[in-house]
Chain A
Amino acid sequence: QVQLVQSGAEVKKPGASVKVSCKASGYTFTNYDINWVRQATGQGLEWMGWMNPNSGTTDYAQNFQGRVTMTRNTSISTAYMELSSLRSEDTAVYYCARDSYGLDYWGQGTLVTVSS
């Protein structure tokens, strides 16, 4: 069965960076793009970008360009999302999602808290 398992919660100080992982299983990792989506508490979903795990090609939402980097390690079927220059407004749950038949499978989410 397809699963996306994300890394645990993080607490970071303003100005720091965070790297969230998303380990895929149950399918061929390089066959489908991985998208990243975030959700601040009580707010809606915000698309951050996608990465093609086969080629490493990425496409980032305008709001995050210059601050987000999406990478992968195909040997362990894991995608990563790194967000830099963190500010309090980046406090949110971050999700990875596979793009196959739409965004069909989602990770459980990773809470990132930015606080001094």
Chain B
Amino acid sequence: AQSVTQLGSHVSVSEGALVLLRCNYSSSVPPYLFWYVQYPNQGLQLLLKYTSAATLVKGINGFEAEFKKSETSFHLTKPSAHMSDAAEYFCAVRDSSYKLIFGSGTRLLVRP
């Protein structure tokens, strides 16, 4: 069965610093992976998705993620954090019945 694990329930960075949010997946078949962001009192917004066309995926708001099969990872990065990036981030994998399985989420805090 497919699953994702997000390491670190909370990550704190300074404004302008690198953002790195970790996601490892478990899948016996090629995974279909997604990163979503949730701002307070809002639904989820898709940041990016892995489509197997390229291992480095660029998303919205300057985020990108690299698919590494050897490490079963799909970590989310952003070179320079902005205060507006403070939110909760979810990694997700689509399972064999096409439903999304979400990780437990990582809350990003950006310090001024």
Our verdict on whether A and B bind, yes or no, reads no
B contact residues vs A (CB 8 Å cutoff):
none
